[in-house]
Amino acid sequence: MPDKWVYSFGGDLTEGRADMRELLGGKGANLAEMSSIGLPVPAGFTITTEVCTHYYGNENTYPDSLKKEVLEAIKLLEKEMGAGFGDIENPLLVSVRSGARVSMPGMMDTVLNLGLNDETVEGLAKKSGDARFAWDSYRRFIMMYGDVVLGVAHHDFEDILDSHKRDEDITKDTDVTAEGWKGVVAEFKELVERELGAPFPDAPEEQLWGAIGAVFGSWMVPRAMTYRTIHDIPHDWGTAVNVQAMVFGNMGEDCATGVAFTRDPANGENYFYGEYLVNAQGEDVVAGIRTPQSLTIQGKEKEGSRLPAMEEIMPEVFCQLNDVRHKLEKHYQDMQDIEFTVQQGKLYMLQTRSGKRTTAAALKIAVDMVDEGLITQEEALLRVDPQALDQLLHPTLDPMAHKNVLTKGLPASPGAACGAVYFSADDAETKAGEGIKVILCRRETSPEDIHGMHAAEGILTSRGGMTSHAAVVARGMGRPCVAGAGSIQMDYEEKKMIIGEAEIKEGDIVTIDGTTGEAMLGEVPTIQPQLSDDFNTIMGWADEHRRMTVRANAETPLDAETAKKFGAAGIGLCRTEHMFFDPKRIQNVREMIFSTNAQYRRDALDKLLPAQREDFIALFKIMEGLPITIRLLDPPLHEFLPHSEEDIQNFADTAGFETEKVRRRLGELHEINPMLGHRGCRLGVTYPEIYEMQARAIIEAAIEVQGAIPEIMIPLVATRKELALMKTLVEDTAKEVFTEKNATVEYTIGTMIELPRAALTADDIAEEAAFFSFGTNDLTQTALGLSRDDSANFMPDYIREGIFAKDPFATLDREGVGQLVQMAADKGRSARPDIKLGICGEHGGDPSSIEFCEDVGLDYVSCSPYRVPIARLAAAQASIKSGRRLGKSQTQPERRAA
């Protein structure tokens, strides 16, 4: 049990600090911090988040000593302010606000002007010399308190106010006189008494406890809970309550209120960006009834405004505020979002917090602050959210545009795209060929749809998760994708989709946002990406600070070019099967599958060899001097066969088979759980000629291209013996080629660790492997017994129930899958100290998972090309954090000194 529940701030006694955010909430901690660095903060106190936890843990009761501590804090506050709570002559008025660890804007309740009653309102009138102001404040208090604390509907108060204005024949609140407000107040109090059967509480202390209870109560209202669920905020964090002396920006023309950012949050420019209003309360700035004015002359000119800047009409206060701005930035070493009030010429700071900013601004501010000597490169790197870089790499929706959101699916591949919907890959390709922008809509995609996905601007599916085929392939291609939008009914027959009431037909225009998962009707304007110098500066610093290298998963020349452009240090996963789906080759692949013996299979494979060799030549040329990890054939053979009646007929006709024969083979190859079926090296074991052809293509290509660095990867290994067999096969093939060509080339052979058994026996397997690449997609599927294609049905329930904090296919499950990775890394190194370790699952592009990879000490991460910059930054952050944990103030000082 804590021995202290209440912390004072703002006067002679300031008990909190900025780093006490968990205890005091963000607002309370920062008020204390500002106060202790000498900024003008109205005095007050914070009731800690622990009281909230206690409240919910003890049937909505407070700790015993709370009352005493609050009373003492009020005594202190009265002394500080030279005013008394309930004092008729000189009343102390306070605000009561929530303040959680992280900001939850608008989610919880606030009460202002607390302490007013029929007697103190007269004291306020006298003190301010403005009776109208006093009665206006009083009626605002009753409205707020009545609504928030007492539960009287807000619109009932509004009705009274409206009828009063009608009676007086006026339209604006500002036209209501002091007497008018007095009448309104009386009616408000009657309303409350009628509704509750008890009078409005007069005693300030009773008012205070009511407000405190309301704030704590608002922590658990549905909208707050929903907000927290969406933003991954634990429900047990609780909120603090801040009680603070009121200051008024609306006491006259020497009063003002405003909000500001210490730099421009849109582009990061180092100028004082803010708005204010004279003789107004904070809510007026936000409400948009009056047009806010710019703080600075520079701002005024930028916006082409005629209204005077604060710099002009309140130069002294502005100067003071500008000092505060610099002081805060220097103190917090970050751009701040501040709120202030000027009461009768005196500046009061009401809030400061780290300012939200666009990614472009984040980059500029980070780079500038390093230049200004405010922060180190390391701190600059930690300031930028790697995920947010996606915004810079893909088109984004214009935030100002109107959106008619049809449904929401998973944000499967970032970026926004707009086009006409088509429901088959062939249609998508045809229409794209005619110059039409296309959104390909499918229940789910399969490798047969690749050409349509390539042709489309974006992909929308009604099934599948974050690592479904559509999602993975779209990310690889850099195409926006919304996946698993379960409320869509795709109707291929009628070429339409139904979403609730809406029916979207072939050719209709939709926009998808793969960053949010939204699908919208019609065209929503998008903004094209641009890479700034700041981006390049940050990336350069990231490269200096990271230990792990970053590779890309790529198999087409286009992917490889993109990967290289984004700074990939090689290809970590080249999926050879994607090359088999090429329409020109699929016929040969199918012939191979229909071969009844090894010789016929070999004949069919011989026809594929030249094309496969050309694939590798192209990649080796692009990635010259950089390693390429090439995975031999992985998917089960049935994935290459036709499935629809039409395709079966076509294939049978072309191949000269009976359709019955095709259907029989389909039946033979059908698998109940293809994920756990006849795939990976199991194909190599049963049909060695397939891997032989691939090994030959790789080695022949490598001989042809100067600087080729092939790393041949055997997939789905569960036992050492499998790898040993496949290794011998590859080595024998390589020897043959060397003899034929009278040339040699360096190459290595390794394996994916994607089955729990492989991780468990990694010491044994490492005896045969020059490298391990962690295939954490499949490792997650097997370790958790969870099909990524089928989990969308229940994953939302699992997240909601807190069973998984995050989708384990997006962020690596450290506790389970992570144990296997750690174990395999340790065992692998124990058997072969120089083994190269990397990750090539989707997690390779996820910052949290990358941090894990750093902790395990992997050598590289590999991700889809468009995530390479994200991974580079995330790897640098992971290095820095890991170095700090180890007590190094700077990572790699030797390199930076050089």
Cβ atoms 763, 823 nearer than 8 A: no
Q: Name the minimum Å distance from CB 603 to a second copy.
A: 21
Nearest residue to 712 (alpha-carbon basis) of 573, 610, 614:
573
Which member of 436, 760, 799, 831 binds a second copy (CB under 8 A)? 760
**Stretch of 3-11, 132-140, 682-690, 887-895 contacting a second copy, by CB under 8 A:** 682-690
- Tell me the sheet residues that pair with 519: 407, 512
Which member of 174, 503, 794, 830 binds a second copy (CB under 8 A)? 794
**Stretch of 110-118, 552-560, 675-683, 834-842 contacting a second copy, by CB under 8 A:** 675-683
What is the chain's alpha carbon radius of gyration, rounded to the nearest angstrom? 33
Strands 438-442 and 458-461 turn out to be parallel
Nearest residue to 480 (alpha-carbon basis) of 550, 529, 530, 548:
529
Site string for a second copy, 625-664 (x = CB under 8 A): ----------------------------------------
3-class secondary structure, 132:
helix
Q: Name the minimum Å distance from CB 145 to a second copy.
A: 38
86 binds a second copy per the rule CB under 8 A:
no
The smaller minimum CB distance to a second copy, of residues 196 and 803, is found at: 803
Structure tokens belonging to residue 738: 């060397």
- 202 φ/ψ angles, rounded to the nearest 5 degrees: -90, -35
783 binds a second copy per the rule CB under 8 A:
yes
Secondary structure letter of residue 179 according to DSSP:
H
Q: Return the C-alpha torsion angle 489, 493, 495, 496, nearest 10.
A: -30
Q: Name the minimum Å distance from CB 756 to a second copy.
A: 4
686 binds a second copy per the rule CB under 8 A:
yes
**Stretch of 205-213, 497-505, 679-687, 841-849 contacting a second copy, by CB under 8 A:** 679-687
Q: Name the minimum Å distance from CB 773 to a second copy.
A: 16
Stretch 395-434 residues interacting with a second copy (CB under 8 A): none
Structure tokens belonging to residue 334: 């970050």
The smaller minimum CB distance to a second copy, of residues 641 and 755, is found at: 755
The smaller minimum CB distance to a second copy, of residues 282 and 684, is found at: 684
Q: Name the minimum Å distance from CB 780 to a second copy.
A: 9
**Stretch of 72-80, 122-130, 573-581, 812-820 contacting a second copy, by CB under 8 A:** 812-820
Which member of 178, 499, 586, 685 binds a second copy (CB under 8 A)? 685
CA–CA gap between residue 516 and residue 674 (Å, rounded): 31
- 469 is known as an active-site residue: yes
DSSP string, 271-327: S-EEEEEES--HHHHHHTSSPPEESSHHHHHHTT--SPPHHHHSHHHHHHHHHHHHH
802 binds a second copy per the rule CB under 8 A:
yes
CA–CA gap between residue 797 and residue 311 (Å, rounded): 54
CA–CA gap between residue 824 and residue 718 (Å, rounded): 12
CA–CA gap between residue 597 and residue 149 (Å, rounded): 81
Angle at 799 between CA 794 and CA 804, to 5 degrees: 105
- Tell me the sheet residues that pair with 773: 752, 838
715 binds a second copy per the rule CB under 8 A:
no
768 binds a second copy per the rule CB under 8 A:
no
HSE-up of 431 (CA within 13 Å, CB side)? 22
Cβ atoms 441, 490 nearer than 8 A: yes
The smaller minimum CB distance to a second copy, of residues 175 and 794, is found at: 794
162 binds a second copy per the rule CB under 8 A:
no
- 476 φ/ψ angles, rounded to the nearest 5 degrees: -60, -40
Secondary structure letter of residue 252 according to DSSP:
S
Burial class (CB in 10 A: 0-12, 13-18, 19+), 583: exposed
The smaller minimum CB distance to a second copy, of residues 597 and 686, is found at: 686
889 binds a second copy per the rule CB under 8 A:
no
| Residue linked to tokens 């970032």 | 414
The smaller minimum CB distance to a second copy, of residues 58 and 793, is found at: 793
834 binds a second copy per the rule CB under 8 A:
no
Structure tokens belonging to residue 67: 């009352």
Which member of 725, 730, 745, 874 binds a second copy (CB under 8 A)? 725
801 binds a second copy per the rule CB under 8 A:
yes
Which member of 230, 400, 672, 897 binds a second copy (CB under 8 A)? 672
- 840 is known as an active-site residue: yes
CA–CA gap between residue 466 and residue 459 (Å, rounded): 13
811 binds a second copy per the rule CB under 8 A:
no
Which member of 756, 828, 838, 844 binds a second copy (CB under 8 A)? 756
755 binds a second copy per the rule CB under 8 A:
yes
**Stretch of 35-43, 244-252, 690-698, 814-822 contacting a second copy, by CB under 8 A:** 814-822
496 binds a second copy per the rule CB under 8 A:
no
467 binds a second copy per the rule CB under 8 A:
no
**Stretch of 83-91, 291-299, 470-478, 811-819 contacting a second copy, by CB under 8 A:** 811-819
Nearest residue to 523 (alpha-carbon basis) of 404, 396, 393, 400:
404
Which member of 786, 812, 873, 874 binds a second copy (CB under 8 A)? 786
470 binds a second copy per the rule CB under 8 A:
no
Quick one: how far is CA 783 from the chain centroid? Answer: 26
761 binds a second copy per the rule CB under 8 A:
yes
| Residue linked to tokens 């500080």 | 80
Nearest residue to 812 (alpha-carbon basis) of 773, 785, 792, 841:
841
Which member of 558, 675, 799, 831 binds a second copy (CB under 8 A)? 675
Cβ atoms 6, 73 nearer than 8 A: yes
Q: Name the minimum Å distance from CB 880 to a second copy.
A: 29
Q: What sign results for the dihedral spanned by CA atoms 377, 383, 388, 392? A: negative
The smaller minimum CB distance to a second copy, of residues 686 and 889, is found at: 686
Q: Name the minimum Å distance from CB 791 to a second copy.
A: 8
User: Which one of 54, 394, 469, 545 is the catalytic residue?
Assistant: 469
How many residues sit in the footprint of a second copy (CB under 8 A)?
49
Nearest residue to 247 (alpha-carbon basis) of 44, 409, 431, 392:
44
**Stretch of 116-124, 230-238, 544-552, 792-800 contacting a second copy, by CB under 8 A:** 792-800
Nearest residue to 841 (alpha-carbon basis) of 444, 411, 472:
472
3-class secondary structure, 692:
helix
Cβ atoms 717, 758 nearer than 8 A: yes
Which member of 212, 817, 853, 874 binds a second copy (CB under 8 A)? 817
CA–CA gap between residue 776 and residue 754 (Å, rounded): 6
The smaller minimum CB distance to a second copy, of residues 395 and 465, is found at: 465
**Stretch of 191-199, 244-252, 374-382, 719-727 contacting a second copy, by CB under 8 A:** 719-727
Which member of 448, 449, 518, 722 binds a second copy (CB under 8 A)? 722
**Stretch of 119-127, 472-480, 693-701, 808-816 contacting a second copy, by CB under 8 A:** 808-816
User: Which one of 255, 441, 681, 840 is the catalytic residue?
Assistant: 840
Structure tokens belonging to residue 568: 């990939």
Quick one: how far is CA 855 from the chain centroid? Answer: 22
The smaller minimum CB distance to a second copy, of residues 527 and 675, is found at: 675
The smaller minimum CB distance to a second copy, of residues 229 and 719, is found at: 719
* CA 503 to each of CA 63, 402, 409, 489, 499: distance values in angstroms, whole numbers, following the listed order: 57, 20, 17, 10, 6
CA–CA gap between residue 191 and residue 189 (Å, rounded): 5
The smaller minimum CB distance to a second copy, of residues 294 and 462, is found at: 462
User: Residues with catalytic annotation?
Assistant: 469, 840
Residues binding a second copy (CB under 8 A): 671-678, 682, 685-686, 716, 718-719, 721-722, 725, 754-757, 760-761, 764, 778, 781-787, 789-791, 793-794, 797-798, 801-804, 813, 815-817, 819-820
